[in-house]
Amino acid sequence: MNYEHCPDIGRDPEPYFRKAAQALKPNEHKCEYAANLCRWADCVAERKRFEDADGLYGRLLILIDDSPEWRSDWHWILSNCVEYFQSRGKGELVAYMTKESEYDAYGDSVRQRLEHAERTLPDNDPELAEALFNAGNNAIFHHKYAEAEALLGRALDSNIKAHGEESEPVIANLNRLSIVARELKKYDEAESTIQRALEIAKKQFPNRSVYPRTIETIALLREEQGRLEEATALYGEAVTLFEGQAGYPAYDTIECLYRQSGQLVRTGRFADAENAIRRVTQVMDEIDGVSDFEKSDYIATLASALDGLERKEESDEARKRAEELLERARKAAEAE
């Protein structure tokens, strides 16, 4: 997904989407398999290879029809199927699922909360600012960046009135606005917005996590701009700051190391990526609050680094462990 969103890196995302889709068995990992297959289908459709895309989306339809109990968890997959077949003039194939694909339970609750806040609260109320901020984040999740830009712009005005110009909510808001501007290819706006956030964070909160998180946002911008050495250096700075603030092992520190290792994998620095992610995997069981979902992600990143180093046996072992952790996490979630 990062290769898809950062084309300047020069790596083709499709082989990774394909490998992810083919790695799982639909009867054993139904939800994960459907998600991976959908991402592959989306990638193929984006390249206008419609005959291949028809086949992949067709496989998804069969899986959806055989899995009515999962539909409530597959909102985005249903939406993508409906949008694809409608765009191809084959809307009749998905007419029966259109209503389901349009329902978004979390998004609906976010919208209801915002509507209530807008009706009942003044512009300087922190709850209105939070409702606008959450609605903006939800729009980002659905790739509705223009909508997110408008909501987060209003949230920023409200956060300034509620908390003051140099506050943590304002910094968080500026970070999200920078991300949206980056997605909209408004790089000058993304730069000015994140530099404003950095100035406040460095001045007012040098010992709080909002400071290194802002540096990470700059690193992502540099990566998309193709300024990879700068991005790598910024991730290193963020790790050092988190380690100084929270220590090691600590949750914030290993999460930053995990994100750093992902950037190193994306840019082909596999040995450095292995060093970073092993600092995560060596201590992840010692830290309270690290879920099996997160552990699975950590181990999968280690497997990717080992793939890059062509250490296939170790990579296969790591990937197997990641799948076991993911399965354990999924079963625990179902039991709850």
| Domain CATH code at residue 239 | 1.25.40.10
Arithmetic mean of pLDDT over the chain: 89
Q: Quick one: pLDDT band at residue 286, thresholds 50, 70, 90?
A: very high
Mean pLDDT of 79-101: 74
- Per-residue pLDDT at 98 exceeds 70: no
Place of tokens 């100035």: 199
Instruction: Tell me: do 280 and 188 sit in the same domain.
Output: no
pLDDT of residue 273: 96
Instruction: Tell me: do 323 and 261 sit in the same domain.
Output: yes
Q: Which domain holds residue 156?
A: 105-205
Instruction: Tell me: do 175 and 221 sit in the same domain.
Output: no
pLDDT of residue 233: 97
Instruction: Tell me: do 98 and 116 sit in the same domain.
Output: no
Instruction: Tell me: do 96 and 110 sit in the same domain.
Output: no
Best CA proximity match to 256, nearest among 193, 298, 302, 293? 298
- Per-residue pLDDT at 7 exceeds 90: no
Instruction: Tell me: do 222 and 324 sit in the same domain.
Output: yes
pLDDT of residue 76: 78
Mean pLDDT of 27-41: 85
How far is residue 202's CA from residue 146's CA, in Å, rounded to a whole number?
Answer: 29
How far is residue 172's CA from residue 192's CA, in Å, rounded to a whole number?
Answer: 15
Q: For the segment 224-254, what is each residue's pLDDT rounded down to a tens digit?
A: 999 999 999 999 999 999 999 999 999 999 9
Instruction: Tell me: do 259 and 322 sit in the same domain.
Output: yes
Q: Quick one: pLDDT band at residue 72, thresholds 50, 70, 90?
A: low
pLDDT of residue 100: 53
- What's the whole-model pTM score? 0.70
Contact 27, 66 (CB under 8 A): no
Mean pLDDT of 127-138: 93
pLDDT of residue 333: 66
pLDDT of residue 277: 97
Residues contacting residue 160 through CB under 8 Å, at least 6 positions apart: 167, 170
Instruction: Tell me: do 97 and 113 sit in the same domain.
Output: no
Mean pLDDT of 164-181: 96
Instruction: Tell me: do 218 and 330 sit in the same domain.
Output: yes
Residues contacting residue 275 through CB under 8 Å, at least 6 positions apart: none
Instruction: Tell me: do 217 and 194 sit in the same domain.
Output: no
How far is residue 54's CA from residue 28's CA, in Å, rounded to a whole number?
Answer: 24
Instruction: Tell me: do 28 and 63 sit in the same domain.
Output: yes
Last residue of a domain, one of 44, 74, 102: 102
pLDDT of residue 71: 57
Intra-chain end-to-end CA distance of the chain, in Å:
30
- Centre a 10 Å sphere on the Cβ of residue 25 and count the other Cβ atoms it contains: 9
pLDDT of residue 9: 82
Instruction: Tell me: do 151 and 260 sit in the same domain.
Output: no
- Per-residue pLDDT at 73 exceeds 80: no
Best CA proximity match to 273, nearest among 241, 305, 303? 305
Going by the DSSP 8-state scheme, the letter that residue 299 receives in this structure is H
Q: For the segment 253-285, what is each residue's pLDDT rounded down to a tens digit?
A: 999 999 999 999 999 999 999 999 999 999 999
Residues contacting residue 138 through CB under 8 Å, at least 6 positions apart: 106, 107, 110
How far is residue 241's CA from residue 215's CA, in Å, rounded to a whole number?
Answer: 10
* Percentage, residues of the chain above pLDDT 70: 93
Contact 218, 171 (CB under 8 A): no
- Centre a 10 Å sphere on the Cβ of residue 274 and count the other Cβ atoms it contains: 22
pLDDT of residue 105: 56
Last residue of a domain, one of 184, 205, 226: 205
Residues contacting residue 335 through CB under 8 Å, at least 6 positions apart: none
Last residue of a domain, one of 162, 184, 205: 205
Best CA proximity match to 177, nearest among 199, 196, 219, 149? 149
What is the total count of domains within the chain?
3
